[in-house]
Structure 1
Amino acid sequence: MTWAAGDYLEAAVRDLLTAADARVDATVGHAALLLACLGSPEAADRLARRWQEATERPATALAEGPVAARAWAMLFAARGGRPDWAGALPPLDLDAEEVAHRAHLTRRESPIPPGLLGDGAPGRILSGLAAQLEQGGQADPLRVLAAEAQDRARAAEQGVTESLAHWADRAALLPRPPVELLAGCRHLAPLLLGGALRTAFGLAPGWAGDCADQLTAALGTRYRSAAGPRDWSGLVERIMELRAMGPPPAPATAEQVAGAERLLGVELPADYRQFLRTSNGLPAHEVFPRLLGVAELSRRGSGHVLVSEPGAYGVVLLARGESGWRAVEWDRELGATVHPSFRALLTEHLRLLTETGE
């Protein structure tokens, strides 16, 4: 069966233009992994970098869950290194991940849905029953075929191409082929980077590049409002120019930033460190509080860093959650506005300055 690659791309573009941010991240994460598995890691890198530039969200959002994280790790190992956009992804023990992925591929699904058993005596009894049922339950055919291809690749046997073709035939029934099942296989990852899956899907060599082009264009359309100076010096200088305030403050030194992190007991987000190394704070404006210099930073509660002077307008905090750092702008009248990063906050400030002509 031929995979409907055109339908996949159309749905992905639609997601990037109209879906919520979480869906955008999931769509880009799958598409980037797919492109790498089709033998086009450069196209995957281009898409991931554009997403990162547009959203300023952490790379971990593109590798949700242990299977996707494992897939990326195996691909990076096969490439001989990780690209710049993936620096925030944690390193993994490939030997341990290989064992874990084998267990994932051979796992059978229990017919009893999770979460229905409870912790009491009846639940424990049913848990035992579920474990027995799982031993004889149905195995996912895509996992079975991935394990078969992995075994043949590990043993350097004939038939890997046929196994991948069978996998592609099954996966073609799904709108989003679960390529992480293949990429998580240590011995298959080099074959995927060589284009084995692209051949199995019957795709032209240029399809991945076209896909990346359309998806990066969709990201550009969705996040057009974030366009502006792409380097910190340009961003800060343009803000000060529109404010008619002269040059920005002198930058903090790397030693000053590192010392503040030791005192705070946290590692500041990378974009905020870059800001401090460009401008050690910013003066207040009519509707924007004074941003503190590195020596004035203070911690507020668990995972919060005060980065502005509290004033009549409000205050700016950096808040660390499960998905990474966010910049929180609190206004006494409007309440809290959460920005995906500190840079996104300043980019929005620049946008408002530009629109109001201030």
Structure 2
Amino acid sequence: MERDDYLETAVRDVLTGDDLAVDRRIGHAALLLATAGTAGPADRLITQWQAVTGRPASALAPDAVRARGWAMLFEARGDRPQWTEALPPLDLDAEEHAHNAFLTRQVSDLDGLFEGSPAAGAVGALAPGKPDPVRTALAAADLDGWAALVANRPEPDVAALAATRALAPRLVAGADPLGLGPEWPHQCAGALIAALRERYPTGPESWPELVAAILRLRGQRSSNPATAADIAQAEHRLGVRLPEDYREFLAVTDGLPADVVFPRLLPARALRAEGDVVIISEPATVLLTHAGGDWHAVEVDLALGSSAHPSFRALLEHHLRLLEASA
């Protein structure tokens, strides 16, 4: 599996596919990360998927193999995360027996071609059956053999892998059969969470909710709000009326402390202007620009290039999405 190609396709599916395609892609990606021994990114991805879609976790395990895969991983982990409430408990001994039968069942080259057709049974009976080498490797608990067989597949069957009870403890312990490495699962989860947020935009409706959400994720506390007099004095000194959304922000919190990747937002008394640009941060990398009757917020980055946002609120909502993706 080529990691970059997988992630590019996964992000595209989340952004452009229908809801079923989104659920299928998130379900596969979460199992992929979990079978690499990185339960944290997998749980975070599913939790964020639930938050933006409102759909139950059962949508990620719509068939017996995927439901079984999660159950076997939970047993090996020794716990069930909170997002699993919609998944019914399974009889793992019975599921193990069913999975062994699934892995050793002979298949034909015509399997799936006539699915749903009345002729499917007759055609399947005529076609010669043979063992599936990938499933045979799992039945033998041959993790290295399985990895070699699926190495060039764009979307390996990680559900069947996870559902193999004899291998689940090794997967949870970090065997990482596909060689994803320690960093890529976090990158994958972050990119897919960002795509989910773009596909299903949600966010705090009020300014107090938005500011509180940002500070909660940063582990910081809010400043006191600016008074109407503070804002009026700043506007008199700057010679410009500030955009309404920024005035509403100041009325909730008079600036924000710095974050690892975001500068300190200045209180009203420290704002300064240069022509049609109002500098609202220290260092001076966040600006409000006024052109053509509209205000825009700009993040200046001399190394990576500047980013323009249609409003100050849009800038802070973008910052919130980044915080959520890295939480």
Q: Kindly state the Cα deviation for residue 173 of structure 1 after the two structures are TM-superposed.
A: 2.2
Once the two structures are superposed, the pairs formed by residues 244-263 of structure 1 within 5 Å of their partners are none
Q: Which amino acid in the other structure matches residue 41 of structure 1?
A: A
Name the SS of the counterpart of 2:140 in structure 1: helix
C-alpha distance in 1, partners of 2:75/2:44?
19
1:142 — aligned with what?
A: 134
1:173 — aligned with what?
A: 152
What count of residue pairs does the alignment treat as equivalent?
Answer: 205
Q: Kindly state the Cα deviation for residue 130 of structure 1 after the two structures are TM-superposed.
A: 4.8
1:186 — aligned with what?
A: 165
Q: Kindly state the Cα deviation for residue 172 of structure 1 after the two structures are TM-superposed.
A: 2.1
C-alpha distance in 1, partners of 2:134/2:193?
30
2:182 — aligned with what?
A: 205
C-alpha distance in 1, partners of 2:197/2:115?
40
C-alpha distance in 2, partners of 1:98/1:92?
10
Of all paired residues, the percent bearing the same amino acid is 51
C-alpha distance in 2, partners of 1:6/1:203?
11
C-alpha distance in 1, partners of 2:107/2:181?
36
Deviations 1:104-131 (A, max 9, x none): 000112447455556xxxx9xx75x955
Once the two structures are superposed, the pairs formed by residues 1-358 of structure 1 within 5 Å of their partners are 3-110=1-108, 111=110, 113-117=114-118, 130-131=124-125, 137-149=129-141, 163-196=142-175, 198=176, 200-224=177-201, 226-228=202-204
C-alpha distance in 2, partners of 1:66/1:28?
17
C-alpha distance in 1, partners of 2:102/2:39?
25
Q: Kindly state the Cα deviation for residue 17 of structure 1 after the two structures are TM-superposed.
A: 1.1
C-alpha distance in 1, partners of 2:93/2:60?
23
Name the SS of the counterpart of 1:108 in structure 2: coil
Moved over 6 A (4+): none
C-alpha distance in 2, partners of 1:145/1:138?
14
C-alpha distance in 2, partners of 1:194/1:42?
13
Q: Find the structure with the greater CA-based Rg.
A: 2
C-alpha distance in 2, partners of 1:201/1:167?
9
Structure 1: gaps spanning 5 or more residues: 150-162, 236-358
Contact 1:47/1:216 (CA < 8 Å) preserved in 2? Answer: yes
Greater displacement, 165-174 / 30-39: 165-174
C-alpha distance in 2, partners of 1:130/1:201?
32
C-alpha distance 54-137 of structure 1, shift in aligned 2 (>3 A): same
With the length of structure 1 as denominator, give the TM-score of the two structures: 0.53
Deviations 1:323-357 (A, max 9, x none): xxxxxxxxxxxxxxxxxxxxxxxxxxxxxxxxxxx
With the length of structure 2 as denominator, give the TM-score of the two structures: 0.58
Q: Kindly state the Cα deviation for residue 59 of structure 1 after the two structures are TM-superposed.
A: 0.7
Q: Which amino acid in the other structure matches residue 147 of structure 1?
A: A
RMSD, matched Cα: 2.3
Name the SS of the counterpart of 1:64 in structure 2: coil
C-alpha distance in 1, partners of 2:189/2:116?
39
Contact 2:143/2:167 (CA < 8 Å) preserved in 1? Answer: no
Structure 2: gaps spanning 5 or more residues: 211-327
Q: Kindly state the Cα deviation for residue 13 of structure 1 after the two structures are TM-superposed.
A: 0.7
C-alpha distance in 1, partners of 2:61/2:203?
26
Q: Kindly state the Cα deviation for residue 48 of structure 1 after the two structures are TM-superposed.
A: 0.1
C-alpha distance in 2, partners of 1:140/1:227?
47
Deviations 1:208-245 (A, max 9, x none): 11111111111111112x22269xxx79xxxxxxxxxx
Q: Kindly state the Cα deviation for residue 207 of structure 1 after the two structures are TM-superposed.
A: 1.2
C-alpha distance in 2, partners of 1:115/1:9?
31
C-alpha distance in 1, partners of 2:30/2:58?
13
C-alpha distance 185-18 of structure 1, shift in aligned 2 (>3 A): same
Greater displacement, 212-221 / 200-209: 200-209
